[in-house]
Amino acid sequence: MSSSQTFSGGYPDQHKRVTSKSNPGFLERLSETAGGMAVGVGLFFLSIYVLFTNEGRALQTASSLDEGLSQVVSLGPYLRMDLENNNHLVHLTAPLHTSQPLHDPNYRVELQAAKLRRQVEMYQWVEYRESKDYQENGETKTETTYTYNTEWKSELINSRNFDKEIGHQNPSAMAVESVTVVAPEVRVGPFILSKGLVEQINDFQTLSLKDYPVSQLDSFLSIDDDYFYHTQNPRRPEVGDVRVRFSYAGLSGDNSLLGPAKTVSIVAMQRGEQLLPFKTKSGDTLEIIYLEELSAEEVFAREQQYNSMKTWGLRAAGWALMCLSIQLAMRIIYTLVDWVPVLRDLVSVGLKIFAVCVSCSLSLLVIGVGWLFYRPLVALALGALALVPVFLARSGLPSKKTQ
């Protein structure tokens, strides 16, 4: 059984709703706990999978990077298309170049870049919810405070889902859509970048409109703070008003107002005038671009550092999943004693400590098994090194007894 009541808040666009439901019985709580246990078991096996496969992924990536560094050919400052390098891994550093500018005819924006992004925002009503639970007359009551504000949002907010739609209606569609335009061909020297390399060019910067020729604007547009506004009063917007901001990535060609073309460093396979992904014997694909000037050694050092950070991040994520899974699986113990307040609090703290300790031990065990599976020689070498003090201690015992 549940019921609800609505009250006006202290602000014009705020109200409260109180819902109540009878507290679940012991059997109902046990049923909910059983569902949590099933989820916990699933998360436990997922954590083992993440921890175990992460070690193999890290080793494969490290081996692929070492293989790439040993084979890469640096083309030097004077780039030329040498057919001897066909199907070989090459490294080059040079400015980006596109044959034609990107433009948006609606706003008369035109520039030389690999990507041009149009970001659209609409002034809309936004609903915020804040809930708190409390016990009263043997029931669990939830007090939810609904607050409504008007804000610029890039996504369309459906006001039909509001608790109080009257007076807070949003338009059902935007007059202009966000879009990202990509240059059909991006070059570095005589070479054409692959789609995968172009996708990695994401150094987006906001297009400044300070020097934009206002005389070219349509009558319904105005400019304020690097935005095109579909209103003549940008400082006093109304619900439904739209504003547009442009940003660009991979500056290229001649942009006198924006600066020189972006210099990039690339490691990829040369095939004719194409720069394509390179498949290593270890199993990974090398298709790397950095938006700065780096040597081949610096590129691979950055990739090894990123691989190490990703490895430790996935280890932490796997441990967190395992800790959560153990807490969910052991939740039934808390349910059995939750009718005794003091015992309930002690059990809650104890279960959290137990989950942290067990997850740490099991995570290290899974990582160790992963090392033994993926890196058997390294694992055996470390095991032998760990046993050296034991052998030294045992070898010294007879001499002490003789003395």
Pull the structure tokens for residue 334: 């808390």
Q: Is 71 a domain residue? A: no
Q: Is 180 a domain residue? A: yes
> In 3D, which of 68, 85, 55, 52 has the Cα closest to residue 283?
68
Q: Is 224 a domain residue? A: yes
Beta-carbon contacts of 221 under 8 Å, excluding residues fewer than 6 positions away, are 107, 228, 229, 230
CB 223 within 8 A of CB 229: yes
Please give the pLDDT value at position 10. Answer: 47
Pull the structure tokens for residue 337: 């004693």
Pull the structure tokens for residue 55: 């070690």
Picking from 294, 320, 350, the residue at the C-terminal end of a domain is 294
Find residue 265's DSSP bridge partners.
Answer: 93, 290
Residues 288 and 317 in one domain: no
pTM (2 d.p.): 0.78
10-residue mean pLDDT series, the chain (403 residues): 50 71 54 70 92 93 95 84 88 92 89 95 93 72 87 93 89 92 93 95 91 66 89 90 94 80 95 94 94 95 96 95 87 62 69 85 86 77 64 61 46
Please give the pLDDT value at position 306. Answer: 96
Count of domains observed in the chain: 2
Sign of CA dihedral 337, 134, 354, 372: positive
Residues 257 and 345 in one domain: no
Q: Is 74 a domain residue? A: no
Find residue 243's DSSP bridge partners.
Answer: 121, 229
Please give the pLDDT value at position 285. Answer: 94
Please give the pLDDT value at position 1. Answer: 47
Residues 231 and 93 in one domain: yes
Residues 343 and 370 in one domain: yes
CB 98 within 8 A of CB 186: yes
- Rounded Cα gap, residues 333 and 349, in angstroms: 12
In the block, tokens 């020729």 appear at 213
SS3 assignment, position 238: coil
Residues 183 and 265 in one domain: yes
Please give the pLDDT value at position 60. Answer: 94
> In 3D, which of 368, 401, 396, 363 has the Cα closest to residue 383?
368
Please give the pLDDT value at position 370. Answer: 85
- Rounded Cα gap, residues 271 and 178, in angstroms: 35
DSSP conformation letters of 207-231:
PP-TT--GGGS-TT-EEETTEEESS
State the angle between helix axes of 341-374 and 26-71 in degrees (0 to 180), rounded to the nearest 10: 30
Residues 290 and 314 in one domain: no
Domain that holds residue 364: 24-60+310-395
Residues 284 and 382 in one domain: no
Please give the pLDDT value at position 38. Answer: 80
Q: Which residues of 333-348 are buried (b: 16+ CB within 10 A; e: fewer)?
A: ebbbebeeeeeeeebb
Q: Is 376 a domain residue? A: yes
Sign of CA dihedral 82, 84, 87, 88: negative
